[in-house]
A and B are shown apart, each in its own frame.
Chain A
Amino acid sequence: MADLAPPARRLPTGAISAALVAATVLAVVLVPLFVPLDEQAVDLGSKLRPPSWSHPFGTDEVGRDLLLRSVYGLRVSLLVGAVAALVATVIGTAVGALAGALGGWADRVVMRVVDLFSSVPHLLLGIFVVAMFRPGVGPVIASIAVTHWLSTARIVRAEMLSLRSRPFVDAAVSGGSSRLRIAVRHLLPGVLPQAGLAAVLMVPHAIWHESALSFLGLGLPTHQASLGNMVQAARGSLLAGDWWPTLFPGLFIIVPTLAVAALAAAWRERLSPRRRSELTL
């Protein structure tokens, strides 16, 4: 048995993505502590400079340092993404748990409401929500949260329905537990890992949505450093051959969100160890 080959090493995507996410969070927390950003400051003498040692990401069309604005923009994006994902998950878990725990006609009514929401394209619904308010972080979070709880609600409901038919629920009924106690003590703890995973998976999606809304000019106020705003502002100069105002903020959207997604994927594998063992064999 000594000549058995050692198991093939897989790329530790979980560790790499965790390091990337940690670096991102550290950057957006630490940089603003040391380097303040004046949103209004312009320096027309040094506009659209390509990347250099003094401006590693170059400068934008009014001479602002793109690295610093990207970090600040990432901070806004992460905040919006995380809060929106959290709120959406709370709504989705509550709705899904209600449908799954009650079952019967309550389940049918709730799920038809979910279908109704799903039938409207969610970017359109999100635009409708932000259009009702003054531009700002709050309406953007609200517009993402109210359009993204649907999949979580479906996941939680399905999980609850499958748990609900287990004999341990029968045992709890026979032991005198109320419906609420069964839902809170036996069913919800069983679906929370799934809901948590759904929340993390939603963070990148929410960040893209924030960027998309800002890009359309409907999200955050235009002077505020946000990745979507920056990509939107850089469109004109891209056609003139100035690639850096688009590329670097774009990378700041893509790399951290992919890292969060990869982290969630690694977590999902941990949730189902059987699948993990099949994959490593």
Chain B
Amino acid sequence: MLELRGITAGYEPRRPVVRDASLTVAAGESVGLLGPSGCGKSTLARVAALLHRPDAGTVTLDGEPVRGWRHRAPREQRTAFGVVFQQPRMSADPRLRLHDLIAEPLRATGRRAEAPDRVRELAAATGLTADLLTRRPHEVSDGQLQRACLARALVLRPRWLVCDEMTAMLDASTTAALVAVVEDYRRETGAGLLAVGHDPVLLDRWCDRTVRWREVQEVQEAQQVQQVQASQKEALR
């Protein structure tokens, strides 16, 4: 069970991007988080994946409250999450060949010996050929790079997957292929999924349930509407 309660988070002091948001993902459940761009859903996803410390609120992971984020979180907690980001170009170290990119978490956690087998297995699952594995990020397409990023997210067999607009940059067939890889992995391991996106059709078909952003965060939504209305009045005047 992954539980976020009353999360307020942002990047500058006293200017929260997310206000008082709450969200629960049951073990093995897949939840789609749907919202317009810029609403703060990625920030909430980063809080959930222990990558961004919230200013207020609690995150509970399998009944245990999370006490630290990023490096302050114990390694087992951090690696319990596999994260896939929106832009594969930005989320891949440009100097690593795809093989090393996928194997990096195994090497970082002292499990170097498992790397060759695990990479081969995941490359087959994500549809990456042996030739592609020897290339660097700038020598492959966005779709191919995102396949490698998904493989990297799965390499440590996480109990939770956080996919932040994983398919926003991709064409329909690659989207279908990547969603299928995620679902195969979840069927095999029973991992939970938080999929963030702005496409209701995709999320409704992909996930057990889809949560609208305003359900996650009543307060801010109302304020945003007020702000927009105020600025519209201003413009009309």
Contact = CB atoms under 8 A, between A and B. Distances in A.
B156 interface: yes
Interface size class of A (residues with CB under 8 A): 10 to 19
A176 B108 CA distance: 6
Majority SS at the chain A contact face: helix
Contacts of A174: 49-51, 78-79, 81-83, 105, 153
B222 to A, nearest CB: 31
A177 to B, nearest CB: 4
Contacts of B104: 172, 175, 177, 185
A58 to B, nearest CB: 54
Interface in A161-188: 166-168, 170-179, 181, 185-186
A189 interface: yes
Interface residues of B, number: 28
Interface in B63-101: 70-71, 75, 78-79, 81-83, 85, 87, 90-93, 95
A171 B83 contact: yes
Contact of B108 (A168, A170, A175, A189): A175
Contacts of A167: 85, 87, 90-91
Contacts of B153: 171, 174
Interface in A129-180: 166-168, 170-179
A177 B49 CA distance: 15
B114 to A, nearest CB: 13
A176 B75 contact: yes
Interface in B82-141: 82-83, 85, 87, 90-93, 95, 104-105, 108-109
A175 B90 contact: no
21 contacts: A166-B90, A167-B90, A167-B91, A170-B91, A172-B108, A173-B70, A173-B78, A174-B49, A174-B51, A174-B78, A174-B81, A175-B79, A175-B109, A175-B155, A175-B156, A176-B156, A177-B108, A179-B71, A181-B108, A185-B93, A186-B93
Interface of B: 46, 49-51, 70-71, 75, 78-79, 81-83, 85, 87, 90-93, 95, 104-105, 108-109, 149, 152-153, 155-156
Given A167-B85, A170-B46, 11 more contacts: A168-B92, A170-B85, A171-B153, A173-B70, A174-B78, A174-B105, A175-B108, A175-B152, A177-B104, A177-B108, A181-B108
